Amino acid sequence: MSAGEPLTAKKLAATIVSAIVIMLIVMFACSLVGPRVISFKAVFSPAGPVEAINPDYEIFVHVRLPRIILACLVGAALACSGVVFQALLRNPLADPYILGISSGAGLGAIVAVISGLNWTLWGRSPIAVFAFVGALGTVWLVWFIGRTTGRSNVTGLLLAGVVVNAFFSAVIMFLTSVAKSQDVHSTIFWLMGNMTEEDFFVLWVGAGSVLAGIVGLFYISPQLNALSFGADDARSMGVNTARTQMIAFAIAAAITAVAVSLSGLVGFVGLVVPHGVRLVFGPDHRQLLPVSAVAGAIFLVAADTLARTVVAPAQLPVGVVTAIVGGPFFLILLVKYTRRVGWLGK
């Protein structure tokens, strides 16, 4: 990596392959760590009689592997979504939840709990389904309100996000105060970040949709570079800004909604990972997006491993760990790289 030099396809390919290798190593290492330390050899060694259960194999395949895959796809989705929202809103403080996705998902989840629904859709509970619908519906509402203030009005979009967020938060508080305490407790716990998922079908569908979203975002990454200079500038450089903004918003909102419906609200990943990657690799979205996806996956796998080990056999909500670990980590990066290239690579 040489700061300031233009990116080449060869350099990008080398960076992505290196990042994926590191991710696989972290995934493998974290799958062996937990309240019960298991060894790779033990996982795949015969358990004795045919009907006997190999506990290491059971833990690895049915508990840790799905959890690690889930953390990977949620971390990748949130990090990429953060990159996109920061670019489109030209706001370093933007994160995947800035346009009201969190309150929309929360409202959806609370409504599902209060309604007492008891069915599953493709293996998902009503809470997850309603959270997904609430998240996407809120982004659409914010986008619709924001666009009425002007096609390229970023401030209008942000204000619409703040107002809708505040309104939905108030509705959540109201519903929380009238709902039964047990229902509310389970919903709040779910919203704090929940990395348990045993259904591989759900995981593969989630991973497929997140991967498709990341590929789609990569495809428009040169246009995102231009949009970082504002819609008018990008348009005068030949970028169809309306189309690019709509595609980017739709994909970022969709992958965030997928992440929220799978794991609740995991904070900090979408804010800290894009900045960390930007400080080290620069702001070019052709590199920033794929590297942030891998870095987000690594970050959340590591954070979730801490969440399930530090107070074992109990578990911490992963959002607590992402904030506690991510904050100082980000500060170290900030101090180290600000000395070299200035804040945000200036």
Partner 1 sequence: MSIIEVSDLSFGYSEAEVLQGLSFKVEQGCFLAIAGPNGAGKSTLLNLLSGILRPKAGTIRIAGAAIESYSVEALAEKIAVVRQEFVPVFGFSVIETVLMARTPYFGRMGFESKTDREIVRLALEATDTAQFSSRRVASLSGGERQRVFIARALAQNTAILLLDEPTSFLDLKHQVDIYDVLKAAQLEKGKTIVLVTHDINLAAQYADEILLLGVGRSYHIGPVDDILKTSRIEKVFSVKGFTGRVRNQSFFLPLGKFAKDRGAAQMPMQPRKSNPDNFPC
Q: Where on the chain is the footprint of partner 1 (CB under 8 A)? A: 2-9, 86-87, 90-92, 218-219, 221-223, 225-226, 228-230, 232-233, 235-241, 278, 282-284, 286, 341-342, 344-346
CA distance 175 to 334: 40
Q: Look at residues 73, 23, 65 and name the one whose alpha carbon lies nearest to residue 43.
A: 65
Query: Are the C-beta atoms of 15 and 1 separated by less than 8 Å?
Result: yes
**CB nearer to partner 1: pick between 176 and 235:** 235
| Closest separation in Å from C-beta 294 to partner 1 | 18
Given the complex with partner 1, which of 241 and 256 has the nearer CB atom? 241
Q: Report the distance separating Cα 260 and Cα 155, nearest Å.
A: 25
Q: What are phi and psi of 181, to 5 degrees?
A: -60, -35
Least distance (Å) from partner 1 to the CB of residue 226? Answer: 5
Work out how close the CB of 254 gets to partner 1 at its nearest, in angstroms, rounded to a whole number. Answer: 21
The tally of CA atoms less than 13 A away on the side-chain side of residue 309 is 15
* Cβ nearer to partner 1, comparing 91 with 169: 91
Q: Which is nearer to partner 1, 81 or 322 (CB)?
A: 81
60 or 281: CB nearest partner 1? 281
State the nearest-atom distance from the C-beta of 225 to partner 1, in Å: 6
Pick 62 or 340: Cβ nearer partner 1: 340
| In the complex, least distance from residue 199 CB atom to partner 1, rounded to whole angstroms | 35
Look-up: residue for tokens 């990341």? Answer: 214
| Between 123 and 216, CB nearer to partner 1 | 216
Instruction: Give least dist CB 135 to partner 1, A.
Output: 26
- Helix, strand, coil shares, percent, the chain, to 5: 75, 0, 25
Shortest CB 271 distance to partner 1, Å: 15
Query: How far is the C-alpha of 316 from the C-alpha of 283, rounded, in Å?
Result: 33
| Residue number with CB closer to partner 1 (149 or 315) | 149
What burial class does residue 91 get, using C-beta atoms within 10 Å of its C-beta: 0-12 exposed, 13-18 middle, 19+ buried?
Answer: middle
Enumerate residues 6+ apart whose C-beta is below 8 A from 262.
70, 73, 74, 128, 197, 202, 206
The position carrying tokens 């056999």 is: 313
Least CB distance to partner 1 at residue 11 (A): 10
Angle between helices 241-263 and 101-115 (to 10 degrees): 40
266 and 137 in contact (C-beta within 8 Å)?
Answer: no
